[in-house]
Amino acid sequence: MVLALVLFALLVFSLLANFGQMLTNFTHLAPPSHQRGGPRLEEILLKNNHSDNKVAVIPVEGVITSQAIDGTAFNQVDVIKAQLEKAEQDPEVKAVVLRVDSPGGEVMASDDIAKALGAFQEDSEKPVVVSMGNLAASGGYYVAAPCRWIVANEMTITGSIGVIMSGFNYRGLMDKVGLQPVVYKSGKFKDMLSGSRKPEDVSPEEQKMVQSLIDEVYGRFKNVVAEGRTAANKSNASDGRKLVENWASYADGRVFSGSQAYELGFVDELGDFDTAVERAIDISGELDANVVEYRQVVEFADLFRMFGQSEPATVKVDLGVQAPNLKPGLLYFLYTEYIN
């Protein structure tokens, strides 16, 4: 009986594998589709106002990362760039609403998205209006800063302007269990940031080097904020909010409520998603517009890729919240409550 079940399982697996190969071959033989390489997107109608114009909604949700999404070949940055390209190419799209609900994430991924948003507004001359949800902190604010207009709810948590590099030193634990690291290196700084070194072995010179790196990226963050808000003020004339003169003193990692961010000039308006849509229509110069969203379509090949993935067995403790998968040595624009 057991042998029969094993043979049946192998037969089913073989059929699935052959079916997947057949679909792959069919895809290669099929004529090219209207969309070039990249994520395949489907336009979903969120609100029908019986208009010839559109406002495209692009979500930025969760930890901003360059890791592939749900086993597909594309990451969050790829998808957002493809959504912006689709919005730029559609003449019926008059504006974009960037729906942000994120604690931030990787420095490079956040910067790539911010640059793509700036280039989109410049090339298409279509405004991007931000709608902040529960959380738009650190990298979540970084991607919002270059946009034409920012709407936050009074209770939104935003700000957290800063950079963090986090890790663990486990040398004390190693000493307790009798483990001794053996390191061969090409230069005296090759093992910097290693968690197996004694804390007292980290020289002031090394600490200064790491801090200098963080300060450089932090300076970039403040420049993005200053340039983005200045450009928005210039485009919005007297309608938007200006940063207060001492705004940089508030860019020390602290978080603000939406109301506090409004008073300090980090956002332009208090409201909800509908407020952002109305503002986008108004800035675009139109009277009305349908609201659409571009959602990624999962291909058959993606399904088989996910089925074929295997992960090593791990033991997980359920703490009631899914912590982000932070990589040691990477810089993050991340709200620290998601780290601790």
Q: Which residues are catalytic?
A: 138, 190
Chain-centroid distance, C-alpha 316: 25
Pairing of strands 255-257, 332-334: unpaired
- Asked if residue 166 lies in contact with residue 215, where contact means CB atoms within 8 angstroms, the answer is no
Q: What is the largest CA-CA distance in the chain?
A: 79
Residue 256 structure tokens:
């603000």
Q: Could you give the CA distance from residue 43 to residue 55 in angstroms, rounded to a whole number?
A: 11
Instruction: Return the residue matching tokens 């705004």.
Output: 247
CB atoms within 10 A of CB 16: 13
Angle (CA) 118-57-292 rounded to 5° is 135
Question: Can you tell me the distance from the alpha carbon of 109 to that of 90, in angstroms, rounded to the nearest whole number?
Answer: 25
Locus of tokens 């309608």: 239
Q: Is 128 left (phi over 0), alpha (psi -120 to 50) or beta?
A: beta
Give the whole-angstrom CA distance, residue 328 versus residue 97: 33
Distance from the Cα of residue 153 to its chain's centroid: 20
- Phi, psi for residue 250 in degrees, rounded to 5: -95, -5
- What tokens appear for 283 in the block? 């800035």
Tell me the sheet residues that pair with 47: 291
